[in-house]
Amino acid sequence: MVAARSLVARLIDDHLVEGGSAPGDEIAITVDQILHQDATGAMSFLQFEAMGLDRVRPRIVVQYADHQSLQNDSRHADDHKFLESACRKFGAYYAKPGVGICHIVHLEQFSRPGESILGSDSHTPHLGAVAMLALGAGGMDVAVSMGGGPYVLSRPAITRVELTGRLRPWSTAKDVILELLRRLTVKGGIGRAFEYAGSGVATLTVPERATIANMGTELGLTFSAFPSDEQTRDYFRRLGREDEWRPLAAEGDATYDDNLTIDLDAIEPLVAKPGQPDSVVPIGEVAGTAIQQVIVGSCTNGSYHDIAAVARIVAGKTVHPTVSCAIFPGSMQTSVQLARGPHLSELLEAGVVVSTPTCGACPGYVHVPSAGTVSLRTFNRNFNGRSGLPGDRVYLASPEIAAVAALHGAIVDPRALGIPAPVVELPERIERDRTMIVPPDPDGGATELWKGPSFAPVPLGEPFGERLDATVTIKLGDKISTDDITPAGAEAITFRTNGPKLAEYVFRRRDPDFVARAKAAGVSVIVGGEAYGQGSSREHAAIAPMHLGVRAVLVKSLARIHRANLVNWGILPLEFVDPTDYDRVEQGDRLVADEPGRQLAESSRVAFVDQRTGDTIVGQTRLTDRERGIVLAGGLLAYTRSRVL
Ligand code: MIC
Ligand code: SF4
């Protein structure tokens, strides 16, 4: 008898090219759709060109100009001009600046239950809200899949998250995911997929589900999936795409690797304190904290549903005199919808700055707070310095809590004030406007690729030799994000198509002397703690260190996408076999390993001798033969080239 399958298992099976059936086994899946954002897509298209590929193969490939939309440096506009030419040449959709944030626009325009999507952005699991197999990846992996290659990943263990009950007034989808972060932390989801089930699921609309699926990334999850049910159908009906809807759920009696229960009735408004999205506390613990800036938006909470809730709360009132409040609608469609009803004027009349749809303040491009400002944002991340201000203080909460704070100049529990919670209905009809989305040009093959003056050639890594003699150029603690490695923010993003320039920013916010030290060392190793490389999918957090001679990271645990990016760029992704070895290594130590390639092939381990203490420090990594070949060759491009030669 064939065992009943979970929704996650069905999604994987339906796309499986090859691979094992146990959690942790390598699997290869077919990719139906691809999304790119501008800050990662440009490098990915340059790699696509460098691989000699000519046309994109998946049914739908969309390049969004969503991060650098405001073009506050001519090099951002250069990236867009390049991307426009690349989309024409290679046969992709090009979504112009102002169209909105990739995940939200893609949900509205292209999502389809049961299909797979790979995105060069870590929040691509957003699309799991409508039962898509939705995965984030580094640009190199996405380039390979644009060429028709399968996407290779570890099969996740599957957790069934049972939702019971119904959210009470002022408790929101954001609080559901914050509650999961409070319980499980940013490493709680590594190696897992969450499948939401139970009677509570039917009470959540698709945008609410998207908030939860999106921010599963902060748990370290491979992806999340909600069933495609009557709520999903209703959403597709409103979008005018009911013909693209199909039901999809777990088979009866499906089994799971483990289970979790969330009682929606018991969820309270929660707030993440500055520094990490898992520093979550009940709102009562931070009530009274004075706030000077409130920002609503991002892929997590920039839907019409979110912004209309804010408009309802501020309508007829005024933003507090000491607060600056801005809103970034998630899509142009959301803006149109707000403008059609009373909400746009409600927001403007209350003193809210209504921006163009873009990521905006989320990765620190605009509305950078002044020193000492306390900011409350509806985003998914508040890693130190991500707002653009070193030493910033950024709290995360739902749009509803943000709106109340904007009116009061402080974090306030609205339940204590007896304010009625807003009730938001999705518009009956959400017009599908593709005005800003340029469709693929069937005759575009001869297009000349336009490259900006600051573009550097696609980098190529070096193969490993017989001996790895590397200096520990930095020793870091737990939860180091890719923002720590290569900062978000308006300045560094200017160099996403120029690896050597970007390398000058590595660890700048943590340790401004790192770059000089790494250059002086020549070959180096980074030592870190748990959940190293969490956060963004940017492969630049591997490319830039590679330019500085980093050949290995040796940490307690690694985030999934960053690990894959390290392999793709020829950096050994090692985890301590004995985590207490972490305490025995110091910055400045020289770690020497003989024949790392042979060691890896024999035992999936690399033993280093610390030249200061004489101790043997062992790192491990489970690599397939192919991955081992790639990393030892100096990365995927170098590997492919060496095989061709
Ligand atoms: C982010 O939220 O950090 C980003 C910017 O969207 C990144 C992608 C990037 O670094 O360009 C992500 O989440 O993958
Ligand atoms: Fe954009 Fe922020 Fe979402 Fe990243 S997390 S895609 S920067 S809105």
Select from 386, 322, 383 the least CA-distant residue to 351: 322
Q: Which domain holds residue 151?
A: 7-167+182-255
Mean pLDDT (whole number) for 248-270: 97
Q: What is the pLDDT of residues 274-309, one digit of tens each?
A: 999 999 999 999 999 999 999 999 999 999 999 999
Query: What band does 491 get if pLDDT is binned at 50, 70 and 90?
Result: confident
Distance, CA 174 to ligand 2 centroid (Å)?
15
Percent of the chain topping pLDDT 70? 100
| Ligand 2 atom nearest 300 alpha carbon | 3
Handedness of CA 601, 549, 510, 457 (dihedral sign): negative
Is the domain of 133 the same as that of 234? Answer: yes
In a domain, 264, yes or no: no
Distance, CA 538 to ligand 1 centroid (Å)?
6
> Quick check: CB of 362 below 6 Å from ligand 2?
yes
Cβ atoms of 257 and 5 within 8 Å: the answer is no
Is the domain of 238 the same as that of 278? Answer: no
Query: What band does 643 get if pLDDT is binned at 50, 70 and 90?
Result: confident
pLDDT score for 210: 98
In a domain, 495, yes or no: yes
Q: What is the pLDDT of residues 426-464, one digit of tens each?
A: 999 987 889 999 999 999 999 999 999 999 999 889 999
pLDDT score for 644: 62
- 194: which DSSP letter? E
Helix (H) or strand (E) holding 282: strand 280-282
Is the domain of 227 the same as that of 308? Answer: no
> Quick check: CB of 359 below 6 Å from ligand 2?
yes
In a domain, 216, yes or no: yes
Percent of the chain topping pLDDT 90? 95
Are β-strands 467-475 and 590-594 bridged in parallel, bridged antiparallel, or unpaired?
antiparallel
Count the neighbouring beta carbons within 10 Å of the beta carbon of residue 377.
29
> Quick check: CB of 39 below 6 Å from ligand 1?
yes
In a domain, 431, yes or no: no
Number of domains in the chain: 3
> Quick check: CB of 363 below 6 Å from ligand 1?
yes
For residue 127, pLDDT beyond 60: yes
Q: What is the CATH number of the domain that holds 406?
A: 3.30.499.10
Is the domain of 294 the same as that of 186? Answer: no
Q: Which residues pair with 159 in a beta bridge?
A: 194, 258
Distance, CA 334 to ligand 2 centroid (Å)?
16
Is the domain of 236 the same as that of 350? Answer: no
For residue 111, pLDDT beyond 60: yes
Mean pLDDT (whole number) for 221-241: 97
Q: What is the pLDDT of residues 358-417, one digit of tens each?
A: 999 999 999 999 999 999 999 999 999 999 999 999 999 999 999 999 999 999 999 999
In this predicted structure, which of 149-163, 422-436, 511-525 has the lowest mean pLDDT?
Answer: 422-436
Last residue of a domain, one of 255, 290, 312: 255
Distance, CA 129 to ligand 2 centroid (Å)?
17
Q: Whose CA is nearest to atom 2 of ligand 1?
A: 536
In a domain, 398, yes or no: yes
In a domain, 110, yes or no: yes
Give me 475's structure tokens: 């020793």
> Quick check: CB of 382 below 6 Å from ligand 1?
no
In order of 103, 517, 545, 548, 622, the CA distances from 522 in angstroms are 40, 9, 11, 7, 27
Distance, CA 537 to ligand 1 centroid (Å)?
6
Is the domain of 246 the same as that of 116? Answer: yes
Distance, CA 380 to ligand 2 centroid (Å)?
8
pLDDT score for 83: 98
pLDDT score for 430: 87
| 60-64 β-sheet, strand order | 133-136, 116-119, 33-37, 60-64, 93-95, 437-438
Cβ atoms of 371 and 340 within 8 Å: the answer is no
Query: What band does 560 get if pLDDT is binned at 50, 70 and 90?
Result: very high
Alpha-carbon distance 418 to 606, whole Å? 61
Residue 102: nearest ligand to its CA? 2
> Quick check: CB of 40 below 6 Å from ligand 2?
no
Burial class (CB in 10 A: 0-12, 13-18, 19+), 563: buried
In a domain, 433, yes or no: no
Q: What is the CATH number of the domain that holds 586?
A: 3.20.19.10
pLDDT score for 1: 62
Mean pLDDT taken over the chain? 96
Q: The tokens 């916010």 sit on which residue?
A: 509
Is the domain of 14 the same as that of 133? Answer: yes
Q: What is the pLDDT of residues 176-206, one digit of tens each?
A: 999 999 999 999 999 999 999 999 999 999 9
> Quick check: CB of 185 below 6 Å from ligand 2?
no
Is the domain of 242 the same as that of 299? Answer: no
Q: The tokens 């495609």 sit on which residue?
A: 228
Is the domain of 250 the same as that of 288? Answer: no
Select from 249, 213, 227, 39 the least CA-distant residue to 124: 213
For residue 645, pLDDT beyond 60: no
pLDDT score for 46: 96
Is the domain of 223 the same as that of 107? Answer: yes
Is the domain of 393 the same as that of 525? Answer: no
In a domain, 547, yes or no: yes
Is the domain of 593 the same as that of 631? Answer: yes
> Quick check: CB of 36 below 6 Å from ligand 2?
no
